[in-house]
């Protein structure tokens, strides 16, 4: 090689650095998998550059696996484009990483080297037997995930699953992984979203646990720990709110039409609660089938019969009936504007609680329900505090406030 190893600091053995030398991403062609692959590739390329002078030195290897070959083909282009953006936007730090490589002088040389080297790390394969770290981001199905884990029969690897709902313990048992798996749930899109739910199962290997915490830091994620209970924090709240929304819509449909009821619940949860989308719009966005399958998972693994996904035949948008809901409380701003003026929330809630319109009443009921869900998640030990629930709702679901905000202001829903 034309250059030497570069660090002048004493050689420090870091387990994560070593483990990152061989990584596999299963489901790499999917939305989540491709984002996870990108994040890991960036980190591997960074390490390669710092330790060996440039990425693609041959010390780091990423295996990308997906049943859909078309998706893998498009993935290459996506990774190359995103790597280039990453390198260009972080050109200052890139120059520091390449500081000791005397062959690379200009921004262009460094960006090209980084991107091409990172792409050289990739192999497309069906096997991840060499991998030391395996990231799984495939369909939310216990059987399928378990089959994949078993088929890899890699007794040395640590597994990171992106499941949003399935207890990690279950995956460990069904996949015969022992204590070598941890929940590492990214939010969409992984490359942008700061939030990461970390779900360590009961007897997780402490080394894996420590590795996961360090990796989340390296990827600059905001880590919230969830107990290993189906749905974790994010879907734990989301799914319970969905069921509540269906319940309220059904109640209202006894007085009004179902389309009116759906409209009202959607509008209340969007406008009165000041969220980016109403609940029914959000269900459509996530996908009815996806919501149903999350619900089925939670029903399967929680000691609670409530998780039965209703068969409600509705459509969005439904019949507008703002006259029934009444005017919005004073101080209302749509979510986009309130984002820029969060200080206006206090006054809005004051007016909401003074208002007696149907819309305001429904909103108060939803807030109360949301608080109950949040308190339940804390008392069940799923979340360690209302703080954590609030962070998940704000960062994962783009809410502007959460249970901590409501509790601190002693709003009626929180008392």
Partner 1 sequence: MRRLRKKVFAAAGYNTLHFGPGRPEFDPAKPMPTFDTYLQDTAAGTCKQLQNPIFDEGVIGSFMSGRFIKQANLPGFLPFMVPSLAGKPCTGVEGACGTGGRAIATAIRSVLSDMSDKVFVAAFEMQNTLKPIYGADVLAGASYYQKERKTGHAFFFPGVFAERANAYYNKVGYDLVRPALAKWYEQAILNARKNPKAQEYHNTSKDLFSLGMSPPDPDRFIPYLNHYDCSKVTDGASSIAIYSEEGLREAGIDKQNCVEIIGIGEAEGDITQPPKDLTILSNTQIAVKKALQMADLAVQDIGLIEVHDCFTISGLLSIEALGLVKEGQAPAFIMEGQTATQGRHPVNLSGGLIGFGHPTGASGVRQLVDLWQQLTKIAPNQIQPRTPYGLMISMGGNDKTVTCCVVAI
- Residue ranges that bind partner 1, judged by CB under 8 A: 88-89, 91-95, 102, 105-108, 111
Shorter beta-carbon distance to partner 1: residue 106 or 379: 106
What is the Cα–Cα distance from 269 to 276, expressed in whole angstroms?
Answer: 9
CA angle 263, 265, 268 (to 5 degrees): 105
Distances in whole angstroms, Cα of residue 334 to Cα of each of 100, 102, 245, 346: 51, 54, 20, 15
Smallest distance from partner 1 to CB 349, Å: 33
Smallest distance from partner 1 to CB 47, Å: 20
Shorter beta-carbon distance to partner 1: residue 14 or 96: 96
Is 283:292 a contact under the CB 8 Å cutoff?
no
Smallest distance from partner 1 to CB 397, Å: 29
What is the Cα–Cα distance from 118 to 56, expressed in whole angstroms?
Answer: 6
Smallest distance from partner 1 to CB 124, Å: 30
Of 266, 398, 400, 411, which is closest to residue 351 (Cα–Cα)?
411
Q: Find the DSSP H helices in 8-160.
A: 15-19, 31-52, 69-89, 91-97, 107-120, 142-152
Shorter beta-carbon distance to partner 1: residue 98 or 348: 98
Of 296, 158, 168, 159, which is closest to residue 225 (Cα–Cα)?
168
Shorter beta-carbon distance to partner 1: residue 88 or 205: 88
Smallest distance from partner 1 to CB 42, Å: 16
Shorter beta-carbon distance to partner 1: residue 28 or 118: 118
What is the Cα–Cα distance from 22 to 98, expressed in whole angstroms?
Answer: 22
The helix/strand/coil state of 110 is helix
Is 169:228 a contact under the CB 8 Å cutoff?
yes
Smallest distance from partner 1 to CB 106, Å: 4
Report how many helices (DSSP H) and strands (DSSP E) the chain contains, helices first. Answer: 19, 8
| DSSP letter string, 265-294 | HHHIIIIITT-SS-HHHHHHHH-HHHHHHH
Shorter beta-carbon distance to partner 1: residue 5 or 91: 91
Smallest distance from partner 1 to CB 89, Å: 8
Shorter beta-carbon distance to partner 1: residue 91 or 288: 91
| DSSP letter string, 229-251 | -TTTTHHHHHHHHHHHHHHHHHH
Distances in whole angstroms, Cα of residue 131 to Cα of each of 57, 62, 110, 158: 17, 8, 28, 9
Shorter beta-carbon distance to partner 1: residue 106 or 356: 106
Smallest distance from partner 1 to CB 114, Å: 13
Shorter beta-carbon distance to partner 1: residue 111 or 265: 111
Smallest distance from partner 1 to CB 385, Å: 31
């Amino acid at each position: 090689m034309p250059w030497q190893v570069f660090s002048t600091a004493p050689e420090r053995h870091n387990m994560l650095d070593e483990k990152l030398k061989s990584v596999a991403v299963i489901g790499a062609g999917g939305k989540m998998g491709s984002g996870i692959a990108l994040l890991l590739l960036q980190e591997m390329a960074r390490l390669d550059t710092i330790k060996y002078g440039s990425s693609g030195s041959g010390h780091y290897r990423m295996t990308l696996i997906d049943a859909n070959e078309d998706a893998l083909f498009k993935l290459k282009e996506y990774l190359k484009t995103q790597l280039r953006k990453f390198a260009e936007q972080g050109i200052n730090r890139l120059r520091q990483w390449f500081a000791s490589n005397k062959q690379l002088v200009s921004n262009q040389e460094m960006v090209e080297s980084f991107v091409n080297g990172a792409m050289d790390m990739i192999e497309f394969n069906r096997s991840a037997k060499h991998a030391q770290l395996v990231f799984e981001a495939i369909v939310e199905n216990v059987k399928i995930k378990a089959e994949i884990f078993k088929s890899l029969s890699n007794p040395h690897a640590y597994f990171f699953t992106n499941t949003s709902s399935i207890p990690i313990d279950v995956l460990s048992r069904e996949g015969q992984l022992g204590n070598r798996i941890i929940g590492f749930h990214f939010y969409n899109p992984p490359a942008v979203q700061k939030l990461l739910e970390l779900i360590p199962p009961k007897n997780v290997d402490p080394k894996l646990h420590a590795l996961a915490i360090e990796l989340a830091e390296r990827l600059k994620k905001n880590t919230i720990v969830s107990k290993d209970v189906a749905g974790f924090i994010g879907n734990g709240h989301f799914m319970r709110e969905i069921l509540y929304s269906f319940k309220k819509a059904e109640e209202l449909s006894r007085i009004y039409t179902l389309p009116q009821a759906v409209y009202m619940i959607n509008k209340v949860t969007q406008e009165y609660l000041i969220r980016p989308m109403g609940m029914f719009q959000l269900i459509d966005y996530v996908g009815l089938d996806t919501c149903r399958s999350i619900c089925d998972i939670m029903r399967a693994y929680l000691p609670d019969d409530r998780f039965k996904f209703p068969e409600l035949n509705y459509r969005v948008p439904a019949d507008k009936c703002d006259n029934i809901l009444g005017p919005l409380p004073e101080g209302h701003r749509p979510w986009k504007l309130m984002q820029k003026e969060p200080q206006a929330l206090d006054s809005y809630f004051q007016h909401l609680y003074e208002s007696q319109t149907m819309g305001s009443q429904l909103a108060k009921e939803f807030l109360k329900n949301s608080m109950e869900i949040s308190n339940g998640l804390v008392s069940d030990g799923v979340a360690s505090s209302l703080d954590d629930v609030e962070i998940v709702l704000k960062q994962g679901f783009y809410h502007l406030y959460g249970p901590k905000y409501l509790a601190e202001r002693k709003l009626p829903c929180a008392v």
